[in-house]
């Protein structure tokens, strides 16, 4: 299952989430330039439990070198697909959590989740001399918070079936529950041992602490400065990919649904990719939003309605303008 996006639209641009993604990508580029020194680089800036458990190993490092890995390990990755998977999940779930907490509290939240996931790994793998790296633990915290905040949101998921794309909306509580169960079973099978430098227990710790830190940070006021920044970063567009659940009109083959556009998109026009789910069938195609469209306007898509006995109806989309 490949999550494409959630159906819960965030109201502000996730500037902190985007900066975290940018910094993580930059860190990966720095890794690529290490060449033959990459292993030493990872050992120095990754989180290695034995560096803290074994005095003879710890003696080779300064106090600063022992502290820095608690920050840097969550920005390093073991390969391109490790990086891509983590950043994609952060992109999908992080914006909504930042929207709820506010920019500053979200930054604090993310770093606390990363530190807690690292501490979980450190305690459970106390004697390990293998460095663990990756943002998975911090992102697991984001996913834990998302589960609490938006359990009934839907995650638009791509399921490839014989190389054919199949889109399905899965409730967030089910999607994230399955993800957490997979982490727990993997941790049990591996008996607490890390795999490829990324520990399963770090994911579990991050997920659980994400829920705890969410509750604690929600008690903190956002602050006037944060509210001012949120007003400035308020989104002026709607999701490019939208899922439409049309209804029929009795005996007619025509279908009727809604499509959301922002005030700016209504004024200037745009292009949306829509996934129409009706009955057992699903269709995905682009829709052109004409410039100057108003709320309540019906967009007619010929031959995109129901089909029966060689005849086909039309699909009518009523424009909803969001503010």
Taking only the tens place, the pLDDT of each residue in 74-83 is: 999 988 998 9
Give pLDDT, residue 281: 62
The residue segments making up the domain with residue 190 are 2-232
Are 134 and 189 members of one domain?
yes
Question: Do 18 and 90 sit in the same domain of this protein?
Answer: yes
Could you give the CA distance from residue 154 to residue 302 in angstroms, rounded to a whole number? Answer: 29
Co-location of 151 and 271 in the same domain? no
Instruction: Pull the structure tokens for residue 5.
Output: 């996006």
Residue 148 pLDDT > 90? yes
Q: CATH number of the domain that 252 lies in?
A: 2.60.260.20
Q: Count CB neighbours of 296 within 10 A.
A: 9
- Closest to 21 (Cα-Cα) out of 71, 96, 84, 80: 84
How many residues does the structure list for the chain?
323
Q: Which CATH number do you get for residue 74?
A: 1.20.1540.10
Same domain, 271 and 163: no
Instruction: Note whether 130 and 262 are same-domain residues.
Output: no
Count of the separate structural domains present in the chain: 2
- Do 182 and 106 fall within a single domain? yes
DSSP 246: -
- Percent of the chain at pLDDT > 70 equals 93
Nearest residue to 10 (alpha-carbon basis) of 177, 237, 168, 173: 237
Q: State the pTM of this model.
A: 0.75
In whole angstroms, give the CA distance from residue 201 to residue 186. 9
- Please state, in angstroms and as integers, the Cα–Cα distance from residue 100 to each residue in 10, 15, 139, 193, following that order: 9, 13, 16, 35
Q: Is the pLDDT of residue 144 over 60?
A: yes
Q: Where among 232, 256, 288 does a domain terminate? A: 232
Give the domain-ending residue among 167, 199, 232.
232
The answer to whether residues 222 and 246 belong to one domain is no
Q: Do 83 and 207 fall within a single domain?
A: yes
* CB contact at 8 A, 97 and 163: no
Is residue 189 domain-shared with residue 287, that is, in the same domain? no
Q: How far is CA 57 from CA 41, 44, 52, 125, in A?
A: 16, 12, 8, 16
Question: Is residue 77 helix, strand or coil?
Answer: coil
Interval 56-66: pLDDT, tens = 999 999 999 99
Question: Do 113 and 136 share a domain, yes or no?
Answer: yes
143 and 220 share one domain? yes
Last residue of a domain, one of 215, 232, 249: 232
- Residue 201 is predicted with a pLDDT of 76
Residue 286: predicted pLDDT: 87
CB 101 within 8 A of CB 109: yes
156-195: per-residue pLDDT in tens?
A: 888 777 777 777 888 999 989 888 888 777 766 665 444 4
Neighbours of 232 (CB within 10 A): 10
Based on the domain organization, do 55 and 179 belong to the same domain?
yes
């Amino acid at each position: 299952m490949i999550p494409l996006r959630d159906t819960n639209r965030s109201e502000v641009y996730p500037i902190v989430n985007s900066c975290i993604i940018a910094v993580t990508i930059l860190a990966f580029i720095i890794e690529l330039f290490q060449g033959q020194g990459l292993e030493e680089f990872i050992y120095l800036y990754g989180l290695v439990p034995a560096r803290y458990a074994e005095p003879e190993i710890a003696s080779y490092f300064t106090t600063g070198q022992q502290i820095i890995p608690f920050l840097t390990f969550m920005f390093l990755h073991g390969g391109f697909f490790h990086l891509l998977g983590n950043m994609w999940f952060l992109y999908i779930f992080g914006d909504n959590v930042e929207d709820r907490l506010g920019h500053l509290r979200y930054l604090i939240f993310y770093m606390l989740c990363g530190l807690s996931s690292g501490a979980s790994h450190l305690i459970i793998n106390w004697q390990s001399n293998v460095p663990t790296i990756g943002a998975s633990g911090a992102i697991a915290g984001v996913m834990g918070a998302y589960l609490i905040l938006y359990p009934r949101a839907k995650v638009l998921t791509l399921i490839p079936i014989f190389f054919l794309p199949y889109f399905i909306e899965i409730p967030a509580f089910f999607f994230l529950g399955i993800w957490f169960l997979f982490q727990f079973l993997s941790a049990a099978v591996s008996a607490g041992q890390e795999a490829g430098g990324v520990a399963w227990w770090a994911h579990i710790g991050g997920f659980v602490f994400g829920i705890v830190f969410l509750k604690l940070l929600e008690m903190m006021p956002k602050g006037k400065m944060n509210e001012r920044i949120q007003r400035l970063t308020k989104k002026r567009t709607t999701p490019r990919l939208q899922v439409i659940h049309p209804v029929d009109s009795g005996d007619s083959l025509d279908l009727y649904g809604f499509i959301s556009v922002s005030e700016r998109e209504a004024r200037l026009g745009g292009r949306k990719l829509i996934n129409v789910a009706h009955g057992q069938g699903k269709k995905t195609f682009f829709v052109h939003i004409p410039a100057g469209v108003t709320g309540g306007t019906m967009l007619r898509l010929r031959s995109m309605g129901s089909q029966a006995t060689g005849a086909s109806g039309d699909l009518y989309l009523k424009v909803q303008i969001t503010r």
